[in-house]
Structure 1
């Protein structure tokens, strides 16, 4: 284990103790309290969030942004699920590739643990979000994680979700299993291709194509 990872693991344990006493303070306050820099702190917080040990971080001024989301001209009103998936297709295959290359054993365990909570026949939005976020955490790309959190926040918007076609029995579970297997095996190209297959199938469905359940696995 590297010295840097040992430091992160130590901070993780200290945050666990603090979180057990109540709500965590702001990052700046917590960094001062623990005597660590913000980089180490964010790595530790990311590890805990990937394992669902603490809540996902909330964007600043969340209340204001939610209020703005219902106003004409807000991005949730201007875009569509198909447009979102076009963006995800340009971003997430590379995130999956990086996760296979850079993810720590603990981060890959976290990806697998989230997938283990899902079932092949029932779609659960929060579990799906947690799965894709865990892969973004394992990519060790802070900007990619930030962008994914913005995308996932929009998917929770009830008005935006009303634009989706009716959900079917297909949950993407098999594609997620392919991703877990490829990332666990450190097969970067396979992880990238599995993510692309997963998102492309959903995009075609959103554009009026066949049910995703009819897409054969490669």
Structure 2
């Protein structure tokens, strides 16, 4: 698994080189150009601004932007893993159901391909995020996909991940396989139930319950 700080340092170096060529493009365009997600980009920009290597951003409406920025920047510190999973539990079972109903063949195969990259005994955060994001894409709900990307940005935060309980060997691989099977066969109710099972198991663990691997469909 990649070192998050090493990734941020690498992106910061690339931004540093671009800044020498003139004014940097807007954040979205810069993220697309560098091929990185907005979370990593913002961390790298913040690192460069803290060292006075690039100018501080100057939003047009500084009051409104500051209020929104504080909420976005501090949410990883203010929330907990259990709270984040409560949000996911309210959103993702429906996305799994919609993916089974609305997903194109290519989108469903993208879900399966993300799962195929994973290993039953090894948890990889970026593969896990890619799997859940692929389901959100296949739901064909743009707002839900946007919300999922915000949730995943928080999930990636290194300080936020330190709040998780002691390590468990359970990776969620078996539940992901259930999801792939249900979505591929267009069994919407089964897909919804599998996602609810998956997230409930993790939420129970986050709240001090049993290992997620003990949860199975009846």
Count of paired positions: 170
| Equivalent-residue separation in structure 1 for 2:200 and 2:157 (angstroms) | 22
Task: With the length of structure 2 as denominator, give the TM-score of the two structures.
Answer: 0.70
Deviations 1:69-120 (A, max 9, x none): 999x811111100000000000000010110011000000100001001111
Q: 2:42 maps to which residue?
A: 62
Provide structure 2 residue ranges, at least 5 long, that are not aligned to the other structure: 1-24, 51-65
Per the alignment, residue 113 of structure 1 pairs with 113
Over the residues paired in the alignment, what is the CA RMSD in angstroms?
3.2
Return closer, same or farther for 1:159/1:59 CA change in 2, 3 Å cut-off: closer
Question: What's 1:92 paired with?
Answer: 92
What CA distance in whole angstroms lies between the structure 1 residues aligned with 2:150 and 2:46? 11
With normalisation by structure 1, the TM-score equals 0.70
The residue that corresponds to 1:202 in the other structure is: 202
Query: Residues 205, 186 of structure 1: CA spacing in aligned structure 2 closer, same or farther, 3 A cutoff?
Result: same
Q: Flag the 1:182–1:55 CA change in 2: closer, same or farther, 3 A.
A: farther
Mapped to 1, the partners of 2:152 and 2:46 lie a distance apart of: 14
Are the counterparts in 1 of residues 121 and 169 from structure 2 also a CA contact under 8 Å? Answer: yes
Consecutive aligned runs of 4 or more in structure 1 exceeding 2 Å deviation: 54-71
